[in-house]
Amino acid sequence: MGPYNGYTAKERQEKFDELKRRRAAGLPQESTPCMMCGDPEAPVEQHSEDYSKPYRWTPPAEYALCGSCHYWLHQRFGKSLAWHAYKAHMRRGGYGKEFTDKEVKKERKAFEAAQASGQEYTWRELPGRVARTGMDWWEHLTLSPDALAALWARPRP
């Protein structure tokens, strides 16, 4: 585990250890839909944005994310074009687990090519899904790798 949002690996590990103690004590775990993509069926895991003490276990300090969303959230620093594609996929109501599906991969490649050349790309609509407005908490996360270790990136001092 490395630094994140200006918190050291040690600080992150301490909060994770406390989470494990809470679970061992029988405190409830999140079972909500993913707080990024909204997938109601995907198992969720905790993602912390804030490792300050006293610990906070609810948004905006911590979110329940599916494995796909958690993965891409952390990949955003080194794969910014893919991160923008992931966000666009979620904006149209897509679930994280669908991002590697064959048809979505085609759209992703087309989106990334359009972005690289300064063009617009329109994703196909997903029947029965609700498009998002672009005001979600994950929309404006920094892509700067400096934010991993910089103290300015901490949500709380």
Distances (CA, A) of 31 to 35, 51, 139: 10, 21, 23
Q: Report residue 87's pLDDT band, with 50, 70 and 90 as the boundaries.
A: very high
Average pLDDT over residues 109-120: 94
Cα–Cα distance for residue pair 41/128, rounded to 1 Å:
16
The distance from CA 45 to its chain's CA centroid, rounded to whole angstroms, is 11
Dihedral in degrees, nearest 10, Cα atoms 99, 102, 103, 107: 60
Query: ω into residue 60 within 30 of 0, thus cis?
Result: yes
Two structure tokens written together for 4:
């994140």
Q: Report residue 156's pLDDT band, with 50, 70 and 90 as the boundaries.
A: confident
Q: What tens digit of pLDDT does each residue of 28-80 get?
A: 777 789 999 999 999 999 999 999 999 999 999 999 999 999 999 999 999 99
pLDDT greater than 90 at residue 26: no
Tell me the average pLDDT of the chain.
Answer: 93
Cα–Cα distance for residue pair 27/46, rounded to 1 Å:
14
